[in-house]
Amino acid sequence: QVQLAESGAEVTKPGASVKISCKTSGFAFSSYSIHWLRQAPGQRPEWVGWLSALNGKTQFSRHFLGRVAISADAVATTVYLELTGLTSADTAVYFCARQATYSDHYFDSWGRGALVIVSS
């Protein structure tokens, strides 16, 4: 079945960078787009950006521009999120999610999330 699994929890310091992975399985990786979202404690999900595994196109929320990169390893069917210049406001659970169809940007499968804590 469709599965997405983020890498483990990270504890890091202000100003540092973090790179999280999302291992996918159970579907044709190159046919889908994978999104990254995050959710701070007690808050609504916040969209970060997405990557098309079909053509490598990426798009990011303007709230993260200049600090975020999303990449993929098609052989490993894994997508990566890198976020730089971390502050305490970046403390959140980071989710990867599969876009349900080519044209409709909602998510039919999510991972369980990776907790990132930014603290001095």
Partner 1 sequence: DIQMTQSPSTLSASVGDRITITCRANQSISRWLAWYQQKPGEGPKLLIHKASRLQDGVPSRFSGSESGTVFTLTISSLQPDDFATYYCQQYNDYPLTFGQGTRLDI
Nearest to partner 1 of 103, 120 (CB atom)? 103
Nearest to partner 1 of 13, 112 (CB atom)? 112
Nearest to partner 1 of 7, 109 (CB atom)? 109
For binding to partner 1 (CB under 8 A), which residues are involved?
35, 43-47, 59, 61-63, 95, 97, 100, 104-113
CB of 105 to partner 1, least distance (A): 4
CB of 21 to partner 1, least distance (A): 15
CB of 8 to partner 1, least distance (A): 14
Q: What is the 3-state secondary structure (H, E, C) of the chain?
A: CCEEEECCCEEECCCCCEEEEEEEECCCHHHCEEEEEEECCCCCCEEEEEEECCCCCEEECHHHCCCEEEEEECCCCEEEEEECCCCHHHCEEEEEEEECCCCCCCEEEECCCEEEEECC
Q: Which of 45, 35, 28 is closest to 99 using CA atoms?
A: 35
CB of 87 to partner 1, least distance (A): 19
Nearest to partner 1 of 19, 112 (CB atom)? 112
